[in-house]
């Protein structure tokens, strides 16, 4: 396909050729020596440290140039921050030949080009920490203009907000929107804090298969592929739960995994077909212990991400400070709908859905009906972190029956800002009971429920060797990232969210 160039793109290619004609490599191979970063200089330069900044070397992208004739001010952006650069012709070109300033700097470089700057740090008359350049080196010539973003007194104007552009060209979005880079930096801090907490408590990080012969561990529609050498269908994992439990059977007492999962379902502000789940399983614990551990972990992660246990999203302050409220699911439904569904059969639940104007699939069973009622009429009320507990057995095929409440299981979901963030069980370790639960799922599948679970016979075999009493949990890491960074769309916390292919390539 022939590439169609804009006028600006053609001009930049012409400049590229002029640079080559001057003997300047626009993409030099050698590594460039960097001694300082923009953030380091701005944070640490002062009267007492200025000796340490008499010779600095920094590299970054030109984001703005203010031409003042024989001197220019420019803004350079590296991976840490932006910093002002003062560049004067006589410093760059002390001899008779002024080509590097008059031609290269002023005529052949553009916004978006990546350069190395050598010089010393000083404070301008306006009080701004800057670099007085004594030399510059072109490191990369940019052939495509950046979107125009205006900045004055630290405020961003005309920030790129077109969603199609932001998500499809995330690389450009990261360049021109500093807040986007900040979001993903904070997400890394969040994940590191979670790992730090789990490692400190003695958990072992593991890896489990992404390609699975049985898509187990959750009720979801899988992606299907084919392995040519083995001539068998395989599934991209919808969950890693059953493999982590196998490791508990094998003798590990606490395992966890940041799992990239895939579900062939709809897309919206809280769902992407590819997403990250943190799951961990701990032997000899139950869901009561898991609630307390979850509170401690999330408070730790919030402070690491925001320097505070409080996060603000969509105008709401959410406190991750322990403890969190605990509400049985039937109590929640009764409070917010007026219906006591605890003793209802499938027909009664369908009648409640009809009265509440909740459209439901005729193929789903009792558990899904209760889930639809809670999701449609109750979930959005829980803004502060709340454990919704004690689910009916029909909703939880992998969960241990409640020790004191017949018909229920020892399960909780953590709801924050009206959305499920985590799902936890006292795990079912009775292999006979587990087989019967799987068989009930097969009946739902035969009725047409395409999210019902498959029977995993190898997992049942593992349980027959004996799995100790175990607590397990799965966290939606992307949704947690939304909460802790104040983003209301999952696409804003995924570097490369799923999108339709572009119609044409450029």
Q: What is the pLDDT of residue 363?
A: 84
Check if the beta carbon of residue 333 is closer than 8 Å to that of residue 381: no
Burial level of 264, CB count in 10 A (0-12/13-18/19+)?
middle
Q: What is the pLDDT of residue 446?
A: 78
Q: What is the pLDDT of residue 155?
A: 58
Q: Is 413 annotated as a binding residue?
A: yes
Q: What is the pLDDT of residue 157?
A: 47
Q: Is 30 helix (H, G, I), strand (E, B) or coil?
A: coil
Question: What are 408's strand-pairing partners?
Answer: 392
Q: What is the pLDDT of residue 232?
A: 96
Beta strands per DSSP E along 36-169? 56-67, 71-77, 82-88, 114-123, 129-140, 150-152, 155-157
User: Any residues with CB less than 8 A from the CB of 153 and at least 6 apart, and which?
Assistant: none
Q: Which pLDDT tens digit goes with each residue over 162-197? A: 888 899 999 999 999 999 999 999 999 999 999 999
Structural domains of the chain sorted by starting position, each given as residue range(s) with its CATH number in brackets: 7-146 (2.40.50.140), 180-324+384-493 (3.30.930.10)
| Maximal CA-CA distance, the chain | 93
d(CA 326, CA 329): 10
Under-50 pLDDT residues of the chain:
157-158, 506
d(CA 296, CA 203): 15
CA neighbor of 71 nearest in space, from 130, 140, 149, 148: 130
Q: Which element (helix H / strand E) includes 275? A: strand 274-283
Q: What is the pLDDT of residue 158?
A: 47
Tokens standing for residue 506: 């450029």
Tell me how far CA of residue 325 lies from CA of 160, 307, 321, 371, 384, in angstroms: 40, 23, 11, 20, 8
d(CA 167, CA 498): 8
Question: What are 224's strand-pairing partners?
Answer: 235
Q: What is the pLDDT of residue 55?
A: 97
Q: What is the pLDDT of residue 151?
A: 59
End-to-end CA distance of the chain: 9
Q: What is the pLDDT of residue 240?
A: 94
Tokens standing for residue 40: 């380091």
d(CA 44, CA 52): 10
Q: What is the pLDDT of residue 7?
A: 95
Tell me how far CA of residue 157 lies from CA of 145, 149, 151, 318, in angstroms: 18, 6, 6, 29
Q: What is the pLDDT of residue 162?
A: 82
Tokens standing for residue 285: 């614990």
Q: Are strands 129-140 and 114-123 parallel, antiparallel or unpaired?
A: antiparallel
């Amino acid at each position: 396909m022939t590439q169609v160039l804009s006028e600006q793109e053609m001009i930049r290619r012409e400049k590229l050729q002029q640079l080559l004609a001057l003997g300047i490599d626009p993409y030099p191979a050698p590594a460039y020596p960097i001694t300082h970063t923009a953030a380091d200089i701005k944070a640490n330069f002062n009267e007492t440290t200025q000796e340490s900044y008499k010779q600095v070397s920094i590299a970054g992208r030109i984001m703005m140039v203010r031409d003042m004739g024989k001197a220019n001010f420019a803004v350079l952006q590296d991976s840490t921050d932006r910093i002002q650069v003062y560049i004067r012709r006589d410093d760059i070109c002390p001899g008779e030949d002024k080509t590097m300033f008059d031609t290269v700097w002023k005529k052949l470089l553009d916004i978006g080009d990546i350069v190395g700057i050598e010089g010393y740090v000083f404070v301008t008359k306006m009080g701004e920490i800057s670099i007085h350049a004594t030399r510059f080196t072109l490191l990369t010539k940019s052939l495509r203009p950046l979107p125009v973003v205006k900045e004055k007194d630290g405020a961003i104007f005309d920030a790129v907000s077109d969603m199609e552009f932001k998500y499809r060209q995330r690389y450009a979005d990261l360049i021109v929107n500093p807040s986007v880079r900040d979001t993903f930096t904070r997400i890394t801090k969040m994940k590191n804090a979670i790992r730090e907490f789990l490692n400190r408590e003695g958990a072992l990080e593991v890896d489990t298969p992404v390609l699975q012969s049985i898509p187990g561990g959750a009720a979801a529609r899988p992606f299907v592929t084919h392995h040519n050498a083995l001539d068998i269908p395989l599934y991209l994992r919808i969950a890693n739960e059953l493999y982590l439990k196998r490791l508990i059977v094998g003798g590990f007492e606490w395992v966890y995994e940041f799992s990239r999962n895939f579900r062939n379902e709809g897309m919206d502000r809280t769902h992407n077909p590819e997403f990250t789940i943190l799951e961990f399983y701990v032997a000899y614990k139950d869901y009561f212990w898991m609630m307390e551990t979850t509170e401690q972990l999330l408070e730790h992660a919030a402070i690491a991400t925001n320097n505070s246990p409080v996060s603000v999203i969509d105008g709401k302050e959410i406190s991750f400070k322990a403890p969190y409220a605990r509400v049985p699911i039937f109590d929640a439904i009764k409070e917010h709908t007026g219906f006591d569904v605890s003793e209802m059969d499938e027909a009664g639940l369908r009648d409640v859905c009809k009265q509440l104007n909740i459209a439901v699939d005729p193929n789903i069973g009792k558990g899904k009906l209760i889930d639809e009622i809670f999701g449609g009429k109750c979930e959005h009320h829980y803004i502060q972190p709340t454990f919704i507990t004690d689910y009916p057995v029909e909703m939880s095929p992998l969960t241990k029956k409640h020790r004191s409440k017949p018909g229920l299981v020892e399960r909780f979901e953590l709801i924050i800002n009206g959305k499920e963030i985590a799902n936890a069980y006292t795990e079912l370790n009775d292999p006979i009971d587990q087989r019967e639960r799987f068989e009930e799922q097969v009946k739902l599948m035969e009725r047409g429920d395409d999210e019902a679970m498959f029977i995993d016979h190898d997992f049942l075999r593992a349980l027959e060797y004996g799995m100790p009493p175990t607590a397990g949990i799965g966290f939606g890491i992307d949704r947690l990232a939304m909460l802790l960074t104040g983003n209301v769309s999952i696409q804003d916390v995924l570097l490369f969210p799923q999108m339709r292919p572009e119609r044409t390539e450029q």
